[in-house]
Amino acid sequence: MGFPHKPHERESLVLSKHFGEREAIGLDGWRARGGYTALQKALAMQPAEIVQLVKDSGLRGRGGAGFPTGVKWSFMKPGDGKPHYLVCNADESEPGTFKDREIMRWTPHALVEGCAIGAHAIGAEVAYVYIRGEYTEALEKMNAACKDAYAAGILGKNAMGTGKTVHVYVHKGAGAYICGEETAMMNSLEGKRGNPRIKPPFPAVSGVFGQPTTINNVETLAAVPHIINNGAAWYQAFKRADNPKSTGTKLYSVCGNIQRPGNYEVPMGFPFKDFLYDLCGGPLSGRQFKAIIPGGISVPIQTRDEAEATLMDYEGFVANGTMLGSGGVIVIDDAQNLVKQIARAARFFAHESCAQCTQCREGTAWTTKILERIVAGEGTHEDFDTLLEIAENMTGKTICVLSDSCATPVISGLTKFRADFEALIKKKKVHMVPAQVA
């Protein structure tokens, strides 16, 4: 639903159906809404059956990469004698994204259930839910949900009376965007600096505590109980006719200069134009959309034309010059100084760089300084070339993609909105060159 607004009739409410319902937060209320029936069912299934079901559903990772969830789970080899771990990525910190927060604060048991099913499917007895430290309300609700689930025998050494062990532990982050990167999250969980790790080894081989690990996003895991209960075919049906690769419903967080910001749940392939104008109410009065960043601040900026031509799924966004990413739609209208916002985005990445890779540590800060200088009217045309070259040096050369993410809005900004940059150079003050120097 469009929380904090009433649901729109064109939404497909699956994950967000109970957003805003206080009764759904607690265990009894959740059970009254069908909670934990999927877990009961799943615990009676073989892990391989669950993995196959999820594969068949077409569910793909909702954290940004869009990797097929069932395939990811199939990398975990049952019976290898090692402890397996499930880590739920609830570090939601991609600017523009606030969907996982709503799942956790309105339907925490949906996530506990999803984690428990996921753990069982990959042969893990322990699932850690890594929640960013700033999400105090989500932390409170998740801690309470886990406590109640343990008390009710849903979690623990005899989960739902099946004799199986399923632990779900909440782990609180402490302020680091990069911990949303899966290998950084594993390091953070281990009590280390949140530095991304070099891959290989991949988490399924050597993950948290050096053991086989699967990391899934909150929204991904929250969708699993619905797939267990309703079947793969039901989930498959949420798609556009000409693209079978993206299935299911997707939560989008909408923010910025738009009438009705909030979370919206639509099926894959939904027209972005209808989404922006009908569901979200279009631009603020007297203004026009200028730029749209549809998948969190790390993805390329779309022009209004590109956005309006987009069908909202993994492939649809790529076809229109950007990515689905985390589904955090940031809308910027014609009253904004776009260059300032790109500079602000760069400052974000400079602040969040873990400091490992040279290009990222230095490049994010350098990019920020140049952009802020341009915004202050002290830029030159040479700065544009430098920015693009720095961006090139920051792309595809580092351990993780934070560096690439910083370069992305710079590149798309300078290529799609060059006039905005030019306008700031024209304002530049003319410095008198002392005669004797010439």
Partner 1 sequence: MADAKMVNLTIEGRAVSAPEGTMILEAAKLAGVLVPHYCYHPGLPVAGVCRMCLVEVEKSHKLAPSCATAVAEGQVVHVHSEKAIEARKGVLEMLLINHPLDCPICDQAGECELQDYTYQEGRGEGRYRDPKRFNPVEDFGGDVMYVANRCILCTRCVRFMEDVAKEPVLAVIERGDRALIGKFEGEDLTHPWAGNVIDLCPVGALLSKDSLNKARAWELDRSASVCPGCSQGCNMIVETRDNQVMRLRPRPNDAVNQYFMCDHGRLDYRWMNRRDRVEQPMVMSGGSLAATDWDIALRAAATLLRGKRAHVLASPNLSNEALFLLATLVEKTGGRGTFRVNQGEEAPLAGVDDLALRADRAANVRGAEMAGFTRSDTPLSGLQAGDVLIVADEELAGVDASDVAHAGAVIVIGTTLPSWARHAAAVVLPIANCVEEEGTFTNLRGRVQRFMQAKAAPGLARPSFFAVGDLLAAMGEGKGYWTAAEAFAALAASHEEFAGMSYDTLALKGTMTAGATAGAR
Partner 2 sequence: MSVDAADASYAPVFTGARKTELNELLTRYPTKMAALLPALWMVQEDRGWVSQEGIAEVAEVLDLTPAYVKGVVTFYTMYHQHPVATHFIQVCTTSPCNVCGAEDVVTALLKHTGCEELGVQSPDGKYQVIEVECLGACGFNTPLMVNERFIESVTVDSVPALLASLD
For partner 2, the binding residues (CB under 8 A) are: 4, 83, 92-98, 101, 126, 132-137, 167, 169, 171-177, 188-194, 209, 253-257, 261-263, 297, 328, 330, 332-333, 336, 340-341, 344-345, 348, 351-352, 354
Minimum distance of partner 1 from residue 383's CB (angstroms): 8
Cβ closest to partner 2, residue 50 vs residue 371? 371
Count of positions (residues) in the chain: 438
User: In the chain, what is the greatest distance between 2 CA atoms, to the nearest angstrom?
Assistant: 90
Task: Choose the contact partner of 370 out of partner 1, partner 2, none; CB within 5 to 8 A by kind.
Answer: partner 1
Helical residues (DSSP H) of 175-300, grouped into ranges: 182-189, 218-230, 232-236, 272-274
**Binder of partner 1 out of 49, 80, 389, 422 (CB under 8 A):** 389
**Binder of partner 1 out of 198, 237, 335, 423 (CB under 8 A):** 198
Minimum distance of partner 1 from residue 152's CB (angstroms): 41
Tokens 């045309």: give the residue: 381
Minimum distance of partner 1 from residue 353's CB (angstroms): 4
Alpha-carbon separation of residue 22 from 149, 221, 354 (angstroms): 18, 22, 38
Pairing type for strands 328-333 and 249-256 reads parallel
Task: Choose the contact partner of 362 out of partner 2, partner 1, none; CB within 5 to 8 A by kind.
Answer: partner 1
Cβ closest to partner 1, residue 119 vs residue 354? 354
Pairing type for strands 249-256 and 262-267 reads antiparallel
Pairing type for strands 84-90 and 213-217 reads parallel
Residues 279-298 that bind partner 1 (CB under 8 A): none
Query: How many angstroms separate the CA atoms of 183 and 196, rounded?
Result: 5
Cβ closest to partner 2, residue 41 vs residue 416? 416
**Binder of partner 1 out of 6, 193, 245, 427 (CB under 8 A):** 193
Show the tokens assigned to 183. Answer: 């290998």
**What does DSSP assign to residue 354?**
-
Which region among 71-79, 137-145, 250-258, 384-392 touches partner 1 (by CB under 8 A)?
Answer: 384-392
Task: Assess 410 for contact with partner 1 (CB under 8 A).
Answer: no
Nearest residue to 16 via CA among 184, 310, 351, 250: 250
Tokens 């993780």: give the residue: 400
User: Side chain identity at 151, as an amino acid letter?
Assistant: A
Residues 147-176 that bind partner 1 (CB under 8 A): 176
Number of H helices, E strands in the chain: 18, 11
Cβ closest to partner 1, residue 74 vs residue 364? 364
Show the tokens assigned to 39. Answer: 């877990």
Vertex 326: Cα angle to 102 and 221 (nearest 5): 60
Minimum distance of partner 2 from residue 335's CB (angstroms): 9
**What does DSSP assign to residue 434?**
P
Query: Residue 252 pairs with which residues in a beta bridge?
Result: 264
Minimum distance of partner 2 from residue 37's CB (angstroms): 27
Give contact residues for partner 1 (rule: CB under 8 A). Answer: 176, 193, 198, 350-359, 361-366, 369-370, 373, 382, 386, 389-390, 392-393, 396-399
